[in-house]
Structure 1
Amino acid sequence: MNFISSKNMITKIFLSLFSSLLFILSFPDFNLSIFAWFCLIPLFFSVKGEKPLSSFYIAWFSAFAAFSGTIYWVTNSMYYYGGIPLYLSFFFLFLLSAYLALYVGCFFMIYSIVEKKFSQQAALTVSPFLWVTLEYLRGHLLTGFPWALLGYSQWRMLKLIQFSDITGIYGISFLIVLFNVALFFLLSSREMKLHILKRFSFLSISILILIIVLIYGNVRIGEVKKILSNRDSFSIGVVQGNIEQDLKWDEEKILSNLYKHFSLTESLISNCSPEMVLWSETALPFFPERKKEYTEMVEDFVKRKNIMLLSGALGVDEFSGNEKIYNSVFLFTANRGIAGRYDKIHLVPFGEYIPLENLLRITAFDKIIGTIGSFDEGSETKVFEYKDKKFSIIICYEIIFPDLVRRFVKAGAQFILNVTNDAWFGETSAPQQHFSNGVFRAIENRRFLIRSANTGISGVISPVGEIIKKTDIFKEDIFCYPISEIRIKTFYSTYGDVFAFCCIIFSLLFMLFILFQRGKN
């Protein structure tokens, strides 16, 4: 059975792969963000005239190629550090890319249904709303994986992305799809012999919205910078230890790795005397509540240097004989020792926990998941308070979840710290893609974001998304930066994904209208 019409098959394959290529080039390491603004146009032409199911297959194929080329780096951590055979690593890449591609396939299938049921203009009108709906679902279903959302391609276009303090990342995706739709309508409507004004209608609206967005961005940057100029600052120091992943969990290397962090921190203190020092995710690869000899060394160091230290480590709780283990960050102070702990809330599937672990461990997956440890989920949206400072810490993967980060700010955090260990990904595009997410979290919440990564990228991002400091990967580094606390809350911090919910409601109402019309017929 032929799902796709044989007419111009080669052309359709070429167009769909061209869309894939433009998508890949829009993201790090290529960062050709302009390509995102027309990456969907070849795919729209590819599905033109196809039945809904055919459109699904064409779009799924294109998206599969796009995601495979964007998140190819997952094989690196599986093969080199997870003990998973190379062929199985690529198999899991295939599964993940195939899953993510389903959302794009569904988008174009629904687009084709609306086009056939009503008109091309109706299908194009609903497209930006539908795209946001499906991106939101991708970020939440099955624990969520909102990596490489279309809006993230614009992470360096600061004036453009300032309105994400209202809409979140989804507003940027909406605008990009709107422009793709407008350009496609302009190009495709030539065949319809429409009046020139009608042909340019979508593009005119898109340009008007873009102008408003850019004006808002320019004004907002000025307002936030003015607020920052009137605030007192304090210095935060960051240590990038650059511990090799193979050595990080070696029991015999704990002391040498600890002394390395002590030495780098001493250099940091002599250079800039920070009030607070940030080490990376699991910079202390042990349980501070249990390994008292190591913990006392850290506490003694903090006391002698009179600093506040935050470091990733392993947390543990025991309840009636049941043990829970967490990926945590500990706060050490000079007068209290361990003064607080945050336990990671959103864990990485198959990296930090095994979904349906009891079931999977009795299947052929046992060989794969046996080398990957399982953590328990934290439950508290923790805001640390020390002296007059309120701040929160997000660990690694949590930075890609906008609603999670904004919950910390809503709870009172005046700046955000992020610790991670991207050594798993080697010298791929993953560290850069991961870091670029932080630009949006800073803008959405109008907070400084300070990041310590074991092997990089560490850095400082301002509340307007400016990258003030950015380290190289796989190099030792230390730096300080004076940041200001901000107490204002944005619309996004306060109300969350209202824009995305509006898109979902619009899309659902439109789908119900289609079903109603079909029922009548």
Structure 2
Amino acid sequence: MKKNLLLSISSGLLLWLAWPPTPYTTILLFVGFVPMLLAMENIIQSNSTKKGKHIFNTTFIGFVIWNTLCVYWVYNSLKIIGPVVAVPISLIPYTLGPALMSTACWLYYRLRLKTNRTVGLIGLVCFWIAYEYLHQSWDLNFPWMTLGNGFAVSHQWVQWYEYTGVYGGTIWVWAANILLFLIYVGIREAQAKKLRMRLIIALALVLVIPMGISINRYYGYEEQVNPANIIVAQPNIDPYEKGGTIPVFKQIETLTKLSDSLAQPNTEFFIWPETAIPDYIDENHILTNNYYLQVRRFLDKYKNGNVLTGGETYRMYDTRATKTASPIPGGGFWDHYSSAINIENSAKVQFYHKSRLVPGAESLPFGNALSFLKPVFEHLGGATGAYTMQAEPGVLYAQSGVGVTPVICYESIWGEWVAKSVRQGSQFIAIITNDGWWENTSGKDQHLDYAKLRAIETRRWVCRSANTGISAFINQRGDIVQHSAWWVRTALKQDINLNSDITFYVEYGDYLPKLGSVLAVLGILFLLAIQMKSGILAKK
């Protein structure tokens, strides 16, 4: 028992060491699961009872270690809503993800009992990829620990994400670990030397072929020259002061000065961060809003320029005009958004509303069933359930016709969501964020690294504006061309290349996890059918 626990802990530590932003250790992803697979094999081969329970509990400890060490910073981002709420919400990534991972391992054990080792391991990959897809799709979403994200610091290895997205990386990791596990077991069980050699050759091919293809693609990829001048501003305003001690017009003034310092007559976009305008703006009357007019005065000098900025916006109604509208004390209803706003030298203003919200902090999971808890969160000072989401991704267009995918903070870890926007005509990606909530932790670095994967999947430049760092420009190969330091006030300028070509992944999205999920469901139905058949036979 202790040996299996140590094996599980070893897996947790190896996977943590392999995870971004740690450089030079990504290769540990290819061995990180081997100790845990051995622990499960030991339990399966043992004479102990309740093997399924032992497998779940043993793997859960390793997964908790891995997840907690990687996303320890989550609590920092939730402190603003109060410790009474922040503590239980922060347990979601620390324990819920590991519980789902261990469930995949438990299902592997159940399938292994009814079939064989080979079928069980194939099922394990399907159960795992189904967990990852569920964890990006339901109300308690947190796809931060999707295995394919682990290659974010070694993006040269996964240039083929333009075909598979990050789920191709998940399959790659599991394929290597399973083959290495089978080689070890083959030695331990004294299997035929010929079989072991086949497994060794298969492992070499699994590692070398994808990496070789990727390296070749990385060095052979050339961007089409189609320049646009972009500026990203980093005002470096303490997030806890944005809504109170510093007047909004002063914050906008800081952003305009930063933008002016690098602006050119042909600058296409000035990109400001998620929380750039931290005051409520009525979308129906924005043309008379003082903050909007302040931005327009800045743009007078740049006739072709656009300001893409984050802001808090809302729409008010006399009656419940939308299904999402919430009642206002004293009468009426409103929808409240975390928005990306595109402002140009005309009366045209475009909005995009954040659609992938942080569970608990920005949305109430399973809101219809738990709507009775909204007053509790409001009483505790939280923002739960406050934001209304946009049903589909959108594209914001400059006066010149250049299309940009607006991505607000947390949304940048959803590859398919970004890809859908690109498919609508976007030529580059703008990520606006406020990573200051996480303080100077690895969270901000992971968030930046994951943006490199969006660049590869879509072959689009990523222009990243962060309120308190890190702001950056990322080219179509996933290279960080420029980046700011943490906790500095600055702006960056870059001539990027626009791209209108559509990658295979942009066209077809997350087809791999969808297929894996179908196979996982079939596996679960197979297990249920056997269970029901056994029950019927037992009654006879």
TM-score, normalised to structure 1's length?
Answer: 0.90
Aligned partners of 2:194, 2:511: CA distance in 1, in Å? 33
2:338 matched residue in structure 1: 327
Match of 1:498 among 511, 528, 539: 511
Once the 2 structures are TM-superposed, how far is the Cα of residue 208 of structure 1 from its aligned partner?
1.7
Cα gap change, 1:114 to 1:256, in 2 (>3 Å):
same
Aligned partners of 2:441, 2:179: CA distance in 1, in Å? 34
1:282 partnered with 2:278:
no
8 A Cα contact 2:67 2:98, kept in partner: yes
1:390 matched residue in structure 2: 403
What's the secondary structure of 1:457's corresponding residue?
A: coil
1:456 partnered with 2:469:
yes
Cα gap change, 1:428 to 1:14, in 2 (>3 Å):
same
2:325 matched residue in structure 1: none
Once the 2 structures are TM-superposed, how far is the Cα of residue 510 of structure 1 from its aligned partner?
4.1
1:220 partnered with 2:212:
no
Aligned partners of 1:295, 1:232: CA distance in 2, in Å? 30
1:412 partnered with 2:425:
yes
8 A Cα contact 1:299 1:337, kept in partner: no
Q: Supply the AA of the counterpart residue of 1:56.
A: F
Aligned partners of 1:58, 1:403: CA distance in 2, in Å? 33
Once the 2 structures are TM-superposed, how far is the Cα of residue 223 of structure 1 from its aligned partner?
5.3
Match of 1:26 among 18, 25, 32: 18
Aligned partners of 1:151, 1:109: CA distance in 2, in Å? 22
Cα gap change, 1:350 to 1:220, in 2 (>3 Å):
same
Once the 2 structures are TM-superposed, how far is the Cα of residue 180 of structure 1 from its aligned partner?
0.9
Q: Supply the AA of the counterpart residue of 1:156.
A: V
Q: Supply the AA of the counterpart residue of 2:495.
A: P
Alignment length, in residue pairs? 504
What's the secondary structure of 2:263's corresponding residue?
A: helix
Cα gap change, 1:308 to 1:504, in 2 (>3 Å):
same
Mean CA deviation greater in 23-32 or 429-438: 23-32
What's the secondary structure of 1:63's corresponding residue?
A: helix
Please give the residue correspondences for 1:33-52 in structure 2 after superposition, counting only pairs within 5 Å: 33-50=26-43, 51-52=51-52
2:314 matched residue in structure 1: 316
User: Any unmatched runs of 5+ in structure 2?
Assistant: 44-50, 319-331
Cα gap change, 1:138 to 1:294, in 2 (>3 Å):
closer
Once the 2 structures are TM-superposed, how far is the Cα of residue 420 of structure 1 from its aligned partner?
0.5
Once the 2 structures are TM-superposed, how far is the Cα of residue 297 of structure 1 from its aligned partner?
1.4
Once the 2 structures are TM-superposed, how far is the Cα of residue 90 of structure 1 from its aligned partner?
4.1
2:93 matched residue in structure 1: 96
Aligned partners of 1:60, 1:497: CA distance in 2, in Å? 27
2:175 matched residue in structure 1: 178
What's the secondary structure of 1:157's corresponding residue?
A: helix
Please give the residue correspondences for 1:111-510 in structure 2 after superposition, counting only pairs within 5 Å: 111-222=108-219, 224-225=221-222, 228=223, 230-250=224-244, 252-269=246-263, 274-288=267-281, 289=285, 292-306=289-303, 307-320=305-318, 321-334=332-345, 336-355=346-365, 356=367, 358-361=371-374, 367-368=379-380, 370=382, 374-386=386-398, 387-510=400-523
Q: Deviations over 1:159-180 (max 9, x none)?
A: 3211111111011011011111
TM-score, normalised to structure 2's length?
Answer: 0.87
8 A Cα contact 2:78 2:90, kept in partner: no
Q: What's the RMSD between the two structures over aligned residues?
A: 2.4
What's the secondary structure of 1:309's corresponding residue?
A: strand
Q: Deviations over 1:196-235 (max 9, x none)?
A: 221243443233233332233234335541xx1x422111
8 A Cα contact 1:347 1:397, kept in partner: yes
Cα gap change, 1:210 to 1:34, in 2 (>3 Å):
closer
Aligned partners of 2:78, 2:238: CA distance in 1, in Å? 16
What's the secondary structure of 1:304's corresponding residue?
A: coil
User: Any unmatched runs of 5+ in structure 1?
Assistant: 1-8
